[in-house]
Chain A
Amino acid sequence: MAGLGRGRGRGKGYMSFSIEAVGIGKGENLPPSILQPTPLFPPMEHKPVPLVMGEEAEYMLALKQEFRGNMKTLPFYVRPAVSKKDVERYSDKYQNSEPSDNTLEWNPDWKRLPKELRIRVKKPLKENTSLSVDTPVDPKPSKKTRVDKEEIIHKLEVGITLEKKEEEVTSDEEEGEKKKQEEEQQDGEEEYDEEEFEEETDYIMSYFDNGEEFGGDSDDNMDEAIY
Chain B
Amino acid sequence: MTAQEVRLCGLLLQEHFGEVVERIGTHLLRGGAQNLRTIANETNTPLDLVKKSLCVLVQHGACEFGSGRRGPGSPVEYRASCERVLRVLRYPRYIYTAKTLYGDTGELIVEEVLQRGHMTMSNTVKTVADRLTHNMEEGRSMEYSEVVSAFSKLVETHFLQRCPPVAEMGTAATSTNPATPGTPAASASTAPPTAESNPDCYKLPHVTLIGRGKRRRSSDDSEEQRGGKKAKMDSESCGDEGIYWQVNFERFHQHFRDQAIISAVASKLDQTSSEIVRTMLRMSEVTTTQTAAYTQPLSANEIFRSLPPNYSISRPILDQYLSLLVDDPMEFVGKSGDSGGGMYVISKEPWPTWRELHWSLWYRRGWCVCQSWFGSRSARIFRLLLRKRHLEQKQVEDFAMIPAKEAKDMLYTLLSENLVQLQEIPKTPDHAPSRTFYLYTVNQLPTARLLLQHCYKTVANLIERRLFETKENKRLLEKSQRIEAILASLQASGAEPEQLTEVEEMITAPERQQLEALRHHINKLDSTENQVDETVFLLESYIFSTKTK
Contacts and interface: CB of A to CB of B under 8 A. Distances in A.
Given A78-B21, A115-B171, A64 B91 contact: yes
A116 B76 contact: yes
Interface in A186-209: none
B406 to A, nearest CB: 12
Given A63-B92, A78-B20, A108-B59, A51 B531 contact: yes
Nearest to B66: A114
A4 interface: yes
A70 to B, nearest CB: 6
Interface of B: 15-18, 20-21, 36, 46-49, 51-56, 58-60, 65, 75-76, 91-93, 95-96, 111, 114-117, 163, 166, 169, 171, 173-174, 176-177, 229-233, 241-242, 244, 368, 371-375, 393-394, 404, 408, 421-424, 433-434, 436, 438, 523-524, 526-531
B56 A102 contact: no
Determine which residue in A49, A74, A137, A139 has the highest number of CB atoms from chain B within 10 A of its CB, and name it: A74
A16 B56 contact: no
B52 A60 contact: no
B433 A73 contact: no
Contact of B176 (A64, A102, A139, A172): A139
Interface residues of A, number: 63
Smallest CB-CB A-B distances: 3 pairs: A17-B433, A2-B422, A18-B434
A220 interface: no
B48 A176 contact: yes
Interface stretch (A20-28, A124-132, A145-153): A20-28
Contact of B173 (A77, A105, A106, A136): A136
A104 interface: yes
Nearest to B91: A67
B17 A60 contact: no
A125 B51 CA distance: 25
A71 interface: yes
A61 B433 contact: no
A78 B54 CA distance: 11
Given A116-B171, A137-B174, A21 B372 contact: no
A78 B15 CA distance: 11
Interface of chain A, helix or strand or loop or mixed?
loop
Determine which residue in B93, B173, B373 has the highest number of CB atoms from chain A within 10 A of its CB, and name it: B173
Nearest to A53: B527
Contacts of A67: 91-92, 95, 111, 114-115
A107 B242 contact: no
A71 B46 contact: no
Contacts of B75: 116
Contacts of B438: 2, 17, 21-22
Given A70-B115, A113-B58, A176-B48, 4 more contacts: A67-B115, A71-B16, A78-B53, A109-B241
A3 interface: yes
A136 B174 contact: yes
A64 B116 CA distance: 16
B115 A71 contact: yes
Interface string A169-184: 0101011100000000
Contact of A73 (B51, B229, B527): B229
A111 interface: yes
B436 A21 contact: yes
Contacts of B20: 78-80
B92 A60 contact: yes
B368 A49 contact: yes
A74 B173 contact: no
Nearest to A105: B230
Contact of A114 (B59, B171, B375, B423): B171
A1 B17 CA distance: 44
Given A1-B422, A60-B96, A174 B47 contact: yes
B530 A76 contact: no
A121 interface: no
B112 to A, nearest CB: 10
A61 B55 contact: no
A14 B424 CA distance: 19
B230 A78 contact: no
A11 interface: no
A74 B115 contact: yes
A55 B75 CA distance: 51
A48 interface: yes
B59 to A, nearest CB: 6
Contacts of A16: 433
